[in-house]
Structures are given as C-alpha cells and as structure tokens.
Amino acid sequence: MSNHVSWMLEFEIQAGRADALRDLMTEMVDATKTNEPGTLDYEWSTSADGKKCHIFERYADSAATMVHLATFGERFADRFLAILKPVSFVVYGSPNAAVRDALAAFNPVYMQSLGGFSR
C-alpha cells in the first residue's frame, strides 16, 4: 500500500462562467506544477455540454496534500467556489488526520483500499 492520497471531484460549472473557469484552471495548474513537486497528477476535464467539471488529483503523501490545500485556501478557494458548485468528492489512498480535518467542510466520501498497485 502506498502513502498516496488522491481524489476525484465533480462540480457543476456556474452558467456563463466557462471563460473564468478556463482562466482560473490555467493559473492553478501553473502554480501547482511549478511549486508543488509532491503533486503527482492534477487533471481537469469538462463535459461536452460545458456544464460539469471533474478534477483528478494525486499526491505523493499527506504532507504534499497539505501543501496543496494551503495554497488552494490562500490563493484560489474564493474564486474557485464562485465558479464551481461541488457535486461529489471521493478520496482514495491514505490521508492522515490533518488531511481529513482540512477536507471535512467538503464532506468527502473516503474509499478504503481493497487491492491493486500504484507505480
């Protein structure tokens, strides 16, 4: 079992906010890629109709996850939540108590590892 923490987030995109989403996504991806070496995957996708957004994130461990969450809270949370309405939040891996506490306001579902592997 790895120490990775990952999640899949699903959001509804607020009407008329597609351009704002694209701009914010670009800023967040650039900041994450440049400043967070413990972020292993950070992928944004939208539905064909432009109404839904999924974000897949995977971190090396809970410490890397906390770095990302701190940056998100300080720089992006207000703008992000003005554009995207949370629908579901599913967490995988081995988040520690600090990560779980930091995510508590989003009411995530935690999945238990059953088997498999991570490279």
Task: Locate the DSSP E strands across 19-97.
Answer: 39-46, 52-59, 84-93
Residue 14 forms part of a structural domain: yes
Q: Could you read off the pLDDT of 34-89 as tens digits, one per residue?
A: 999 999 999 999 999 999 999 999 999 999 999 999 999 999 999 999 999 999 99
Q: Could you read off the pLDDT of 11-30 as tens digits, one per residue?
A: 999 999 999 999 999 999 99
Instruction: Write the CATH number for 86.
Output: 3.30.70.100
30: Cα separation from own chain's centroid: 14
Domain span holding position 73: 5-110
Residue 40 forms part of a structural domain: yes
The pTM of this model reads 0.94
Tokens of 23: 């701009």
Residue 57 forms part of a structural domain: yes
Residue 73 forms part of a structural domain: yes
Residue 118 forms part of a structural domain: no
Q: Distance (Å, rounded) from C-alpha 103 to C-alpha 99? A: 6
Tokens of 61: 């461990």
Q: Which of 67, 44, 66, 70 is nearest to 57 (CA)?
A: 44
Q: How many domains does the chain have?
A: 1
